Amino acid sequence: MSEYRAPLEEIRFALETAGGMPEWTNIPAFEEAGEDLVSAILEEAGKLAAGVIAPTNRIGDLEGVALENDVVITPDAFKPMHEAYVEGGWSTLSASPELGGQGLPNTLSTAVTEMVTSANMAYSLLPLLTAGAIEAIDAHGTDAQRETYLPNMITGVWSGAMNLTEPSAGSDVGALRAKAEPMPDGTYRVSGQKIFITWGDHDLAENVIHLVLARLPDAPAGTKGISMFIVPKYLVNGDGSLGARNDVKCVSLEHKLGIHASPTCVMSFGDDGNCVGYLVGEENRGMANMFTMMNHARVGVGLEGTAIAERAYQHAAGYAADRIQSAEIGSPSRESVAIIRHPDVRRMLMTMRATAEASRAIIYRNVWALDRAHNAADDAERAAAKGEADLLTPISKAYATDIGVEAASLAVQVCGGMGFIEETGVAQYYRDSRIAPIYEGTNGIQALDLVGRKLGADGGMHWKALMAEMRAFAGEQGPEKLAEGVAALEKAAEALVSNGSERIVDTAGAAAAYLRLFGTVLGAYMLSQQASVAQERLAAGLGNDKYHKAKISTAGFYCDHILPSAIALLPSIEAGARHMMDMADEDFLRT
């Protein structure tokens, strides 16, 4: 087993160059986020992740969770770990001070979350889903609901869960059948079943606050007739204490490829007809309300890709440095060397490192845009930041989770037969990573969102502004391949926009390739920016020369070896859905 070490120098550099860290204190809401405080938080978070959370990762994978008497039981090792997380106030970093939070940038909180996720991805889903529920209640709930639920959710004493999916309603949420009947006292009686509910029940928090999508009587069909309800596991008394158990329970647990310690629940509401729910926001506005939670979760899931890529990279690099096998190519000596000396192994390690660092920079930029969208003083700046965040969200989610799977697969390959067997632990990263491109909107849906909504938003001003920024950098100081990548990305965008509604199937057929191109070019730009800063610091004798040289090499590798394959996607994007729709459905089935 490889121990996890929080990459504090890399995380801090990414915050400085992509996450807006030098600008944090210029925003009144973040004036406390000075260098000393930030450094202390990152240092302590690294200790927590490496020393307390990471040792539970393998335990959770082996032991999993169990359902006993309608309660999900987690591994014993999780309880002191969760207590340390809660008692340390780690879930309060970016929450509003009015509700018991510390009011620090969400970008800083994201950096902390990355470390927690690398340490134990299955556990990290608990605070991730809770944070999304907090955001949805804060944005759409009443003052009474915020006062009743948010303080304990923010501290982590209570947790939150998102309840959308049903057996007949997956990506097509509008097909859901869960119901909510209004009662004379203003509450609702919720009934129905939800599946794939992450951390829908567990024994770590005192209460679980479910956000449930359901239909009111006579509601319109489809997504226009969905409302959102708070359904607590335990009802909350007027004085804030816990009351009776609500009529909601986990009836079974899914047996999964990975994230074994994250309970994936089948939840039943209203078996006895007494499941009490409380309307959140307006009737029939539940889908819009839920997107507040889902957009938060999508960036968080993208971060899972980065985090698992980092953990897998560390494991593979450690193994490659120790594993002695074969003579070094090109050396006159026939003495066997560590496999880290072999070019193909270095290719795999560099690919893992470069894509992890690129995705980290993209996500930190995405979250910094969200911070500005909520907190910038100027209306125009907030609007521009929101547009950028909306554009980057599907890229953060899909690109980062795709490279997370790829990096985990490469880690298995680097470790060879020792990677394929379970006892070394590297296979767990591969199994755990595979869910991330699926949940919170599949990566195919993210690609459709990018080409169908985000390219056309506000007349295309947001993607065009980003193109102009990348083009200017590439023309002044970026590598030649970056300029080629930006040109290919612009040409691809123009081709998709010109398709219009007449060729919407071609746009859909090209969507995944376009998102990959966008993510890869943006990653090349972010890393090239970082390499430029590293070069400046080297010349000035500032900071760690060894780290800065490694950053320059990593960026160069990305542009020389990863970016060209993405540029080659342009013909596929221009081809659209050609040949995809030609065969009859039955011809896909082997006879």
What are the two backbone dihedrals, phi and then psi, of residue 252, each rounded to the nearest 5 degrees? -165, 160
Please state, in angstroms and rounded to a whole number, the distance separating the CA atoms of residues 55 and 48: 10
Beta bridge mates, 215:
179
DSSP at 166: B
Annotated active-site residue 98? The verdict is no
Query: Residue by residue, what is the 3-state secondary structure of 210-273?
Result: EEEEEECCCCCCHHHHCEEEEEECEEECCCCCEEEECCEEEEEECCCCCCCCCCEEEEEECCCC
| DSSP three-state, residue 447 | helix
Please state, in angstroms and rounded to a whole number, the distance separating the CA atoms of residues 523 and 360: 9
Using alpha carbons only, give the angle 307, 312, 313 rounded to the nearest 5 degrees.
Answer: 95
Between the alpha carbon of residue 268 and those of residues 178, 195, 542, the distances in Å are 10, 9, 58
Q: Which helix (H) or strand (E) holds 371?
A: helix 343-375
Using alpha carbons only, give the angle 264, 139, 152 rounded to the nearest 5 degrees.
Answer: 60
Cβ 349 vs Cβ 375: under 8 Å: no
For residue 44, how many C-alpha atoms fall within 13 Å in the half-sphere facing its CB?
Answer: 14
Question: Of 310, 440, 484, 536, which residue is the catalytic one?
Answer: 440
What letter represents residue 109's amino acid? Answer: S
Query: CB-based contacts of 569: which residues, under 8 Å, 6+ apart?
Result: 488, 492, 513, 514, 516, 517
| DSSP three-state, residue 464 | helix
Active site residues: 440
